[in-house]
Structure 1
Amino acid sequence: DLLNDATHIEAISQTIELLDKGKVRVAEKREQEWIVNEWVKKAILLYFKTKKIKKMEVGPFEFYDKIPLKKNFDQQQVRVVPSGVARYGSYLAPGVVMMP
């Protein structure tokens, strides 16, 4: 099974890291048409399959999910107001104000 192979899992993880850093996109506009990058879309779907659901605690809040929450907003120059949430793999450009 490919999802148990370390090489494939690493390729999936690297793709999610590229998404997180804004280096790749799931879809991009070319001229007047949106084009889906199928390989990125597939990596996201496979990422969910390679992760186990677990409890995550952030202060008084508790989540039960497969994908961890995004961290280090100060280093990314992103402002997050209370109740704002983003998962690892989502790109937030510097200067963004994330609101619920």
Structure 2
Amino acid sequence: MMRYLRFPDERTAIKCCPEWLDGDNWIQPTLRIEIAVRGTLYNNDGEYDEKGNTIKEPTKKVGFFIDVIRGEIPTAAQQYLVNPATPDFVLG
């Protein structure tokens, strides 16, 4: 079952999950742990002209997002679990 984490920022994610880092980078998948670091997400509220040029930048969602595909979530990170377990990332 996929689980979703929303941290206030990347620094908090690093502090709560240092074992998910390999040097300065987030870890690659293993048999024990697989995460998808989404980072900053954006709302679907940007405006673009017919050529694809940005008229209005989309707004950022609040937080730094990591999906846990398999493996244990560190105790310090459990407070950042998103409920319900299948969030609608379209919401701000």
Q: Please identify which structure carries the higher helix content.
A: 1
Q: TM-score normalised to the size of structure 2?
A: 0.26
> Does 1 or 2 have the higher relative contact order (CA < 8 Å, sep 6+)?
2
Q: Please identify which structure carries the higher strand content.
A: 2
Q: TM-score normalised to the size of structure 1?
A: 0.25
